[in-house]
């Protein structure tokens, strides 16, 4: 099937798409300024920063999430060259993520235009920018894998439509990078390849070889960084995820998790039933209204997991919409190459993540976009020109507006209205948080910076990744996320603490002990004293002790 030039879109639909795109860009750009996360987001930067400082991948850092940092390392290095330090680096990476998302959306819109037109295609791809799963709008292993996975599937779609043969090769590169960011994404990527090969009418061997070559090259680029992988790396990753038994249990619980979190089940079911009835009767506009209502009711109302679960559940609606557009060859290609692998990707993301169903949205992004594409194509089956196009814009526009609303969820911080204090310096410079959290961060950060000169390395116990972004000291730990030794509690990982110190052999280490973490006004976590705390006091002496934290130097 040759890829056709997209059908002309009416000026009204183009205007609607342009207004929605501008709205999404402005609101998402505004969202970048909100929230300070000294845990997960600080870790994304800290892993790359330790490599900029000269530490070795898989030798000095053994956490498997480090593969994603190989993509952000050049950006962190560039910011250091521009700014001279890490002040403002978090906001810089957030802006880079938004720019990359906008480029991916624009490119995807062009490739998805056949069958629905360019105006509707722009609306269909806006979730790429509007969706902020888990409330962390930045480059992470989740967002990188999600973006590369989607890009690879779109390239496979272009390939099966008769596009350039190099599309198979480019898809292999994109999926190789997706699997590099999150290794388990390889399952979903290969599912996408199999689906695409089913539709490929000829030269399947050449297509397979091209895809494989792209994947090999994608990984080979990072070969020097992989040299340090050893048995300990895999053992740590296996133990940290809980072993295969936990994965199997997680797979079995995904269904009831989804059911429990969905709070408007009767209303969503009624709206879906109305869609099916109206679609069967040929009342397409009423069916689209019902479908938009069904999608709007798939909101769990649980904060940072809203957009992720919403993407996943909306993606599942595609199974009900596709039968009404299945005769269109473009729709069949989108279903096989985008929707099916996207659903598989959602299950894989939930199954292999410690966040379970909360991470499903990262894998479900292609399937959610496919569902919006089906809704747009469903409307165009009416022979009423502009009115049909406007009807096709309804479901994508409503869904995107809801995703923007769900951006209100800020990861490990307060409601947006309470984030009024601007951080003036440090890695979070330019971001807004609560006055109380800012004062706490300023106090801890200034103390660590003042104590850092003259030391060789720094270690935070048991969990405070921000400490590694406040100075030029290399970490004295093999995982900047924090001490971890499953199944033991983190504060009892004294063997890992002493083993990490021995690995680096540093004589003068600054130890930062956090006893209370001020995440938000609703969440202040205690880190109990355990065997790690005793080990610190046996080998180090305090130079500063306050209620929430203490600093130690060697005896």
Burial class (CB in 10 A: 0-12, 13-18, 19+), 407: buried
pLDDT, residue 244, reads: 44
Q: Using alpha carbons only, give the angle 107, 110, 111 rounded to the nearest 5 degrees.
A: 90
3-class SS string, 365-402: HHHHHHHHHHHHHHHHCCCCCHHHHHHHCHHHHHHHHH
Tokens 């935070």: give the residue. 460
Burial class (CB in 10 A: 0-12, 13-18, 19+), 302: middle
Backbone angles phi and psi of 71, in degrees to 5: -80, -30
Q: Are 55 and 475 in contact (CB under 8 A)?
A: yes
CA-CA-CA-CA torsion for 239, 240, 245, 251, nearest 10 degrees?
Answer: -160
Q: Are 387 and 331 in contact (CB under 8 A)?
A: no
User: Which of the residues in the chain have pLDDT under 50?
Assistant: 1-6, 8, 244-245
pLDDT, residue 225, reads: 83
pLDDT, residue 187, reads: 95
What separation in angstroms does the CA of 342 have from each of 68, 147, 228, 294, 354? 21, 12, 33, 20, 20
Q: Which two tokens stand for residue 385?
A: 């020109």
What distance in Å separates the CA atoms of residue 444 and residue 447, rounded to the nearest whole number? 5
pLDDT, residue 4, reads: 42
pLDDT, residue 1, reads: 43
What distance in Å separates the CA atoms of residue 522 and residue 414, rounded to the nearest whole number? 8
| DSSP, residue by residue, 56-100 | PBTTTB--TTHHHHHHHHHHHHHHHHHHSSSTTHHHHHHHHHHHH
Do β-strands 549-554 and 509-514 pair in parallel, antiparallel, or remain unpaired? Answer: antiparallel
Name the residue among 376, 368, 323 with its Cα closest to residue 345: 368
What distance in Å separates the CA atoms of residue 415 and residue 522, rounded to the nearest whole number? 10
pLDDT, residue 2, reads: 44
| DSSP, residue by residue, 459-498 | EEESS-GGGGGSSSPEESSS-TT---BTTB-GGG-HHHHH
Tokens 């290095």: give the residue. 77
Q: How far is CA 195 from the centre of its chain?
A: 24
pLDDT, residue 250, reads: 61
3-state secondary structure of 183: coil
β-pair partners for 551: 512, 544
**263-267 LR contacts (CB < 8 Å, sep 24+):** 263/299, 263/300, 263/301, 264/297, 264/298, 264/299, 267/297
| DSSP, residue by residue, 487-530 | TB-GGG-HHHHHHHHHHHT-SSEEEEEESEEE--SS-EEE----
Tokens 């397409």: give the residue. 284
Tell me how crowded residue 209 is: count the other CB atoms within 10 A of its CB.
14
What distance in Å separates the CA atoms of residue 33 and residue 432, rounded to the nearest whole number? 6
- Cβ contacts of residue 532 below 8 Å, gap of 6+? 461, 462, 483, 490, 491, 492, 493, 494, 497
Tell me how crowded residue 503 is: count the other CB atoms within 10 A of its CB.
14
Helix count and strand count (H, E) for the chain: 25, 9
């Amino acid at each position: 099937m040759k890829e056709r030039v997209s059908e002309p879109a009416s000026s009204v639909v183009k205007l609607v798409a342009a207004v929605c795109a501008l709205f999404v860009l402005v609101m998402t750009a505004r969202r970048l300024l909100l929230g300070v996360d000294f845990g997960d987001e600080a870790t994304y930067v800290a892993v790359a920063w330790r490599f900029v400082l000269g530490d070795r991948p898989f030798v000095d850092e053994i956490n498997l999430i480090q593969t994603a940092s190989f993509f952000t390392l050049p950006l962190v290095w560039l910011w250091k060259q521009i700014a001279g330090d890490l002040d403002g680096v978090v906001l810089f990476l957030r802006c880079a993520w938004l720019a990359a998302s906008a480029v991916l959306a624009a490119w995807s819109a062009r490739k998805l235009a056949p069958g629905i037109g360019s105006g509707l295609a722009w609306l269909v791809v806006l979730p790429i920018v509007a969706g902020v799963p888990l409330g962390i709008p930045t480059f992470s292993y989740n967002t990188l894998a999600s973006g590369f996975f989607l890009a690879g599937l779109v390239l496979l779609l272009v390939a099966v439509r008769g596009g350039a043969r190099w599309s198979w090769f480019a898809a292999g590169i994109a999926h190789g990078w997706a699997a590099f960011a999150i290794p388990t994404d390889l399952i979903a990527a290969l599912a996408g390849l199999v689906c695409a090969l089913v539709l490929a009418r000829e030269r399947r061997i050449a297509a397979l070889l091209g895809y494989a070559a792209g994947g090999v090259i994608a990984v080979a680029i990072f070969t020097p960084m992989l040299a340090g992988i050893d048995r300990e790396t895999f053992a740590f990753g296996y133990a940290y995820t809980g072993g295969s038994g936990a994965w199997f249990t997680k797979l079995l619980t995904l269904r009831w998790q989804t059911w429990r979190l969905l709070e408007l089940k009767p209303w969503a079911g009624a709206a879906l039933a109305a869609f099916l009835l109206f679609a069967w009767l040929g009342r397409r506009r009423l069916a689209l209204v019902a479908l938009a209502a069904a999608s709007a009711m798939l909101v769990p109302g649980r904060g940072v997991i809203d957009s992720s679960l919403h993407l996943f559940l909306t993606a599942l609606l595609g199974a009900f919409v596709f039968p009404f557009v299945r005769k269109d060859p473009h729709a069949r290609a989108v279903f096989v190459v985008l929707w099916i692998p996207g659903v598989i990707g959602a299950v894989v993301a939930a199954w292999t993540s410690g966040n379970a169903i909360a991470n499903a949205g990262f894998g479900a992004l292609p399937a959610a976009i496919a569902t919006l594409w089906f809704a747009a194509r469903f409307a165009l089956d009416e022979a009423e020109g502009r009115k049909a196009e406007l009807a096709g814009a309804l479901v994508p526009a409503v869904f995107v507006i809801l995703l923007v609303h769900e951006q209100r969820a800020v990861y490990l911080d307060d409601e947006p209205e309470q984030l009024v204090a601007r951080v003036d310096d440090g890695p979070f410079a330019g971001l807004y948080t609560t006055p109380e959290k800012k004062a706490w961060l300023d106090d801890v950060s200034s103390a660590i910076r003042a104590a850092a000169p003259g030391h060789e390395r720094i270690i935070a116990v048991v969990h405070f990744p921000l400490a590694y972004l406040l100075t030029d000291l290399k970490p004295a730990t093999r995982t900047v996320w924090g001490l971890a030794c499953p199944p033991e509690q983190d504060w009892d990982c004294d063997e890992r603490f002493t083993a990490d110190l021995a690995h680096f052999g540093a004589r003068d280490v600054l130890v930062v002990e956090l006893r209370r973490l001020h995440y938000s006004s609703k969440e202040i976590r205690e880190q109990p004293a355990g065997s790690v705390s005793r080990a610190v006091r046996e080998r180090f002496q305090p130079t500063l002790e306050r209620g929430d934290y203490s600093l130690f130097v060697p005896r």
